[in-house]
Amino acid sequence: MLAFGIRVFVNMAQKTFFLLFLMLFGSGLTIAQNDSIIQLEEVVLSDARLYRFAAGIKIKTLSDSLVERTNPTFTDMLRFNSSIYLKENGYGMVSSPSFRGTNAQHTAVVWNGININSPLTGQTDFGTLIPQNYDRIAIRSGGGSVQYGSGAIGGSIHLNNLLAFEKHYDNVLQMGYGSYNTQNLNFKSSYGSKSLALGFGMNYVTSDNDYEYLGREQKNENGEYHHLNFNIDAGYFFSKQLLLKLHHNTFFGDRNLSGTLTAPSDDKYKDINTRSLLEMVRFGNEKLMKFKLAHLFERYEYYANKNRPDYSLGSVNTIIAGYDHKQAWGDFTLNGLLDYKRIEGKGSSLEDAKRNQWSGTLLATHHATEQFRYGFSIRKDWVNDFESPLLLALNGSYKLSDFYLLKTSASKNFRLPTFNDLYWLGAGNLNLVPETSYQVELGQLFKVGNASLELTAFYIDLENMIQWRPNASGLWVPQNIQEARQYGLEAVLNYKKAWGAHHLELDGGWAYTRSVDKATEKQLLYVPLHKINGSLNYSFRRYELYTQALLNHSVYITTDESNELPGYTVVNLGGHHNVLKLEKLSLKMGLRINNIFNEEYQSVAYRPMPNRNFLIQIIAKF
C-alpha cells in the first residue's frame, strides 16, 4: 500500500493526495472528517503549504522504503535518488549540495515548515542529517523564497514529521553493522488515539571511517564520527476546533575532520543543534488560524588540534513567532503569514551579531478547473541590517490530457548575507546586500500506463552573489561581486510493474546543468555538466533486491576551467529478506554492498571516497 505513495508529484490531483493520506492513516482522520481539505492537511503535516500552494512546482517525495534501504547518510540518499549534486569533504564529513548548479547556500533545508539553514554559514551541513529521523522527506525544485525564505533558490529539502490521530502503537527498530566498524541504531515509536498522537525517535551512528584509499598505500585518517539524534513529536486535540502540536529535534555531532592525500589532519568538530516548534491550530469553517512559536539553537566547537584543549566556537539562538491565517472559498485558497524572527549569534570570530526580521507573506492558489490550476504569492521582509527585496512567485499547471501535463513557474528569490559575511572579526562587511535571483522553469509530465516521464527546463539569473576576495590591502572580505546564470534540463523517469507476487520499479534521473560566471563565461566550481542517477527495485513475496547507480560527469576545480576532477560511476547493490512476518512482529534482514565495482573516485579533490564496503541490516517492526 505504501508503494502507492512512493512518488507524489504535486501535479497529481490534490484529491489524490488527500486520498493518499486517508489510506495512510485510515480512520485516523475521523475527528476532522467533516471538515475541509485544508484542515485535514494541516492535522497531519505542519508544512501543509508545501503541497497546497504548489501548482506547477516540481516536488519529489521520497518513499519510506527508499529511506529504509538507504545508507546511514543523508548525502548518499540524495545523491543516488535525486538530481542534486553533493560534494563531501571525505565520506561522512561536511557535505554540501549543489541544486541546479547553485551552491550550498542556495539550497534551503526546511524542517516542519521552518528554514533551518545556519545563520552563520547560510547552509545546512547534510552530514548532520539522519534520514531515518523524518517521516517524510521531500525535494522541492526551483525558487521558493516566498514560502521558505532566504536561500531557497536552487530548491529546498523538506524534512517533515507526521502526526497520526488513530488508535495505534507501532515501533520500528533498525540496526546496522558494516565495514570500517560502522554501526547505526534507529528506533522510532509512534502512539496514537483519536485525540492524541505521540512520536519518539532516536538515532545513533558511529564509524571509524578508516577506509583504504584505492590504489594507494594510504588510508582515510582522522575520519571517525559519532552522531546522536533525538526527536519528539506530539499532537493533542483539546476540542474539535483546537489542536496543539509540538515537534522537537536534538542532534549531537562529534566528528574528526579527515585529512587529504597531501595533508594530514588532526582537526575535530563538535556540534549541537536543537529545534523546537510549538503550534496552536484553530479550525474554523473553511478557515484555519495558526500560532507558531519556534526556537532554534546551534553551537559548534572547532578544534584545530584534537589533542589540545583549545577550540574556536560559534553559537546562534533563533526565536520565531508567527501567525498564519488560511481561508478557502470553494476552489480558491488564500494564506497570509506574519513572522517575526530574532537571531543572536556569538563566537570567537564574530562581533556582536543580531538580527531582527519581520516577514509578511501572502499565498494564493486557485483550482480554476479540473485541468487548470495556478497560484501567486508575494513576500516582503524587513531586516534591521539592510533593505530586503520584494519577492514574487507565479506558478501554474495545465492538464492537456490524461497523459500530458504542463507546468510552469517564475519567481524572484533572495539569500540574506550570513552572520559570517556581516560580522566576521576584521573582515565582515556591513555594506552587503542580499543576493537576488530571477528564475523561470517549464515542466512537462508524460504518463503512459505505469510509466511517467517528467522533463523540466530551468533558467536562473543570480545577482549580487557574495564572494570572499582580497581587497586592495590584501584582506579577504566578502563582497557582492559575482553574477551567474544557471540553466539546464532535468529528466525524471519512473516505471512500475506488478505481476503476480512480483513487483518491479525503475527510477531514473538525468540532469544537464550549465552554471556560468557571467564575467568569465566559465562553469562554476564543482558543478557537473551531467549527472545521472538510477535505481531498480525488484521484490518477490518476502524478498527484495535493489541496485542504485550514480554517474557523475567531471567537475572543474579551478575558476578558469584549467583543472578538473574526473567523473565517476558508483553502483550499490542490496537486498532484504522478510524472515518473520507475524501480525504483531515483522523481521527483515538486509545486506547492502556499496561501490560494488570498487570505483576509485573523489567527490572533492584530494579526498578519495570509500572502496567496496558492506552493511548488514536488521529491521524489526512491532
Question: Is residue 521 within the footprint of other proteins (CB under 8 A)?
Answer: yes
Q: What is the DSSP string of 572-610?
A: EEEEEEEEEE-SS-EEEEEEEEESTT----EEETTEEPP
Question: Is residue 489 within the footprint of other proteins (CB under 8 A)?
Answer: yes
Question: Is residue 567 within the footprint of other proteins (CB under 8 A)?
Answer: yes
Question: Is residue 426 within the footprint of other proteins (CB under 8 A)?
Answer: yes
Alpha carbon distance 158, 279 (integer Å): 18
**Nearest distance in Å: CB 504, other proteins:** 27
Alpha carbon distance 470, 104 (integer Å): 22
Question: Is residue 26 within the footprint of other proteins (CB under 8 A)?
Answer: no
Question: Is residue 525 within the footprint of other proteins (CB under 8 A)?
Answer: yes
| CB nearer to other proteins: pick between 299 and 514 | 514
Question: Is residue 472 within the footprint of other proteins (CB under 8 A)?
Answer: yes
**Nearest distance in Å: CB 190, other proteins:** 43
Question: Is residue 262 within the footprint of other proteins (CB under 8 A)?
Answer: yes
Cβ atoms of 531 and 543 within 8 Å: the answer is no
Cβ atoms of 26 and 45 within 8 Å: the answer is no
What cell does 322 get?
Answer: 508567527
Nearest to 363 by CA among 398, 330, 325: 325
Question: Is residue 281 within the footprint of other proteins (CB under 8 A)?
Answer: no
Question: Is residue 217 within the footprint of other proteins (CB under 8 A)?
Answer: no
Residues 6+ apart with CB under 8 A from 213: 219, 220, 261, 608
- What is the torsion angle, in degrees rounded to the nearest 10, for the CA atoms of residue 94, residue 98, residue 102 and residue 107? -70
**Nearest distance in Å: CB 345, other proteins:** 18
Task: Produce one character per residue of 447-477: b if its CB has 16 or more CB atoms within 10 Å, e if not.
Answer: beeeebebebebbbbbbbbbeeeeeeeeeeb
The correct pick among 16, 33, 305, 371 for binding other proteins (CB under 8 A) is 305
Residues 6+ apart with CB under 8 A from 13: none
Question: Is residue 559 within the footprint of other proteins (CB under 8 A)?
Answer: yes
Question: Is residue 530 within the footprint of other proteins (CB under 8 A)?
Answer: yes
Q: Which amino acid is at 535?
A: S
Question: Is residue 566 within the footprint of other proteins (CB under 8 A)?
Answer: no
Read off φ and ψ for residue 517, nearest 5 degrees.
-70, 125
Nearest to 153 by CA among 383, 465, 398: 465
Count the neighbouring beta carbons within 10 Å of the beta carbon of residue 276. 16
Question: Is residue 498 within the footprint of other proteins (CB under 8 A)?
Answer: no
What cell does 92 get?
Answer: 561522512
**Nearest distance in Å: CB 612, other proteins:** 24
Read off φ and ψ for residue 188, nearest 5 degrees.
-135, 135
The correct pick among 283, 419, 512, 546 for binding other proteins (CB under 8 A) is 512
Question: Is residue 587 within the footprint of other proteins (CB under 8 A)?
Answer: no
The correct pick among 469, 502, 541, 581 for binding other proteins (CB under 8 A) is 469
**Nearest distance in Å: CB 551, other proteins:** 8
Question: Is residue 278 within the footprint of other proteins (CB under 8 A)?
Answer: no
Question: Is residue 313 within the footprint of other proteins (CB under 8 A)?
Answer: no
Question: Is residue 473 within the footprint of other proteins (CB under 8 A)?
Answer: yes
Site track 340-379 with other proteins (rule: CB under 8 A), x = hit = ----------------------------------------
| CB nearer to other proteins: pick between 16 and 563 | 563
The site for other proteins (CB under 8 A) is made up of 89, 260-264, 304-305, 308, 310, 425-427, 442, 457, 459, 469-470, 472-475, 487-489, 512, 514, 521, 525, 529-530, 553, 557-563, 567, 604-607
